[in-house]
Amino acid sequence: MFQLPSPLQKIETALTRQFNVNLFIKRDDLIHPEISGNKWRKLKYNIEQAKKENKDTILTFGGAYSNHITATAAAGKYFGLKTIGIIRGEAYQPLNKSLQFATDCGMELVYVDREKYRNKNSSDFRSMISDFEESKIYFLPEGGANTLALQGCAEIVDELNIDFDFICCACGTGTTIAGIASNLKPHQQAIGFAVLKHDKLEQEIFQKFDIQHSKLTIQNYPFGGYAKTTPELIQFIKAFYIEHQILLDYVYTGKMMFGLFDLIAKNYFPENSTIVALHTGGVMNANVLSEL
Ligand SMILES: *Cc1c(COP(=O)(O)O)cnc(C)c1O
């Protein structure tokens, strides 16, 4: 059911030849059709922990298009745990594709307004979920961003059987890139591509996780903000699909790959560098091929 270790695939294109870099893509998008990419990495030890603590329910948080919500719902289905999704904003009917999928997996959705959602870690919030049996609930933060998630993401590096210099990943909370950065050899560096407008993401990651500063750089490719696109980005994703038959999404991996190609073209990488780009999945919820 799970394709692990995920495949590593070489990408050759005019750009990599011109700038003399070796580019590989690690296909975490192929780990599982419904719990794809870094969401599985982040859930793995949390599910183990929930079971260890004898919880029967995972409760987590996300927006209406959250890959973390859909992945948690699917994981609950496969691993025999109930799931509750606290969704930011109002309920809309019909449900969008992500929330419909989550519901089909058995997830119970609870909608909270933006203000309450912001206070989601307060005791106030706990009283709002008093309908549920709290002692049985395993609380997982938004985006699955905790230390156990970090541990799961660190394993991405252990699976790589080539000697690489740089490893790249799209960043929302930054948990995935932080986990990767925590497990590198002295000559290796992680580059996170921020897909949202967030000036302080780098600072925040270093505050939250114990990562050496020399191991991680954040590059900003927000294209106007989270889940926003430009015609240039859409064009890039289509061209990438036509050339490599690999589908990128416009929320995360499309922005990372665009950013990475941009850095290659700006001569960011020394000649002969070996670069691994992590395909973190996400195409189930947001792809652009339907527009082709
Ligand atoms: C959630 C997600 C990310 C971001 O992961 P973080 O650990 O929050 O930085 C990247 N890519 C895809 C496809 C995602 O779904």
Tally the domains of the chain: 2
Protein residues with CB under 6 Å of any ligand 1 atom: 37-39, 67-68, 143, 170-176, 252-253, 280-282
CATH number for the domain harbouring residue 210: 3.40.50.1100
Q: Are residues 201 and 93 in the same domain?
A: no
Give the residue from 105, 125, 144 where a domain finishes.
144
Angstrom distance (rounded) from CA 127 to CA 136: 15
- Predicted confidence at residue 117, as pLDDT, reads 86
Q: Are residues 182 and 73 in the same domain?
A: no
E strand intervals along the chain: 8-11, 22-27, 57-62, 82-88, 108-112, 137-139, 166-171, 189-194, 216-220, 274-279
Q: Are residues 197 and 286 in the same domain?
A: yes
Give the residue from 111, 144, 177 where a domain finishes.
144
Give the residue from 144, 176, 206 where a domain finishes.
144
Q: Are residues 139 and 118 in the same domain?
A: yes
- Predicted confidence at residue 52, as pLDDT, reads 98
Nearest Cα to Cα of residue 195 among 147, 148, 248? 248
Q: How far is the CA of 247 from the centre of ligand 1 (A)?
A: 16
pTM of the model as a whole: 0.94
Q: Which atom of ligand 1 is nearest to the CA of 29?
A: 13
Angstrom distance (rounded) from CA 133 to CA 120: 17
**125 falls within a domain:** yes
Q: Are residues 45 and 122 in the same domain?
A: yes
E strand intervals along 45-113: 57-62, 82-88, 108-112
- Predicted confidence at residue 127, as pLDDT, reads 65
**229 falls within a domain:** yes
- Predicted confidence at residue 129, as pLDDT, reads 74
**90 falls within a domain:** yes
**182 falls within a domain:** yes
Q: Are residues 253 and 158 in the same domain?
A: yes
Residue 152, amino acid: G
Q: Are residues 65 and 167 in the same domain?
A: no
Angstrom distance (rounded) from CA 24 to CA 156: 14
Q: Are residues 158 and 27 in the same domain?
A: yes
Q: Tokens 């792809």 sit at which residue?
A: 287
Number of helices and strands in the chain (H, E)? 11, 10
Q: How far is the CA of 38 from the centre of ligand 1 (A)?
A: 6
**166 falls within a domain:** yes
Q: What is the dihedral of CA 77, 78, 84, 88, to 10 degrees?
A: -100
**3 falls within a domain:** no
| 52, two tokens | 């260890």
Q: Given CA atoms 121, 199, 89, 144 in this order, what sign does their dihedral have?
A: negative
Q: How far is the CA of 144 from the centre of ligand 1 (A)?
A: 10
Q: Are residues 46 and 170 in the same domain?
A: no
- Predicted confidence at residue 139, as pLDDT, reads 93
Angstrom distance (rounded) from CA 150 to CA 253: 19
Q: How far is the CA of 52 from the centre of ligand 1 (A)?
A: 26
Q: Are strands 108-112 and 82-88 parallel, antiparallel or unpaired?
A: parallel
CB 29 within 8 A of CB 8: no
The whole domain housing 89 covers 38-144
HEC states along 198-261? CCCHHHHHHHHCCCCHHHEEEEECCCCCCCCCCHHHHHHHHHHHHHHCCCCCCCCHHHHHHHHH
Q: Are residues 98 and 123 in the same domain?
A: yes
Q: Give, for all 292 residues of the chain, the pLDDT tens digit.
A: 899 999 999 999 999 999 999 999 999 999 999 998 999 999 999 999 999 999 999 999 999 999 999 999 999 999 999 999 999 999 999 999 999 999 999 999 999 988 888 877 676 676 667 778 888 999 999 988 999 999 999 999 999 999 999 999 999 999 999 999 999 999 999 999 999 998 899 999 999 999 999 999 999 999 999 999 999 999 999 999 999 999 999 999 999 999 999 999 999 999 999 999 999 998 877 777 776 5
Kindly report the backbone phi and psi dihedral angles of residue 271, in degrees, each rounded to the nearest multiple of 5, phi listed first.
-60, 145
- Predicted confidence at residue 130, as pLDDT, reads 73
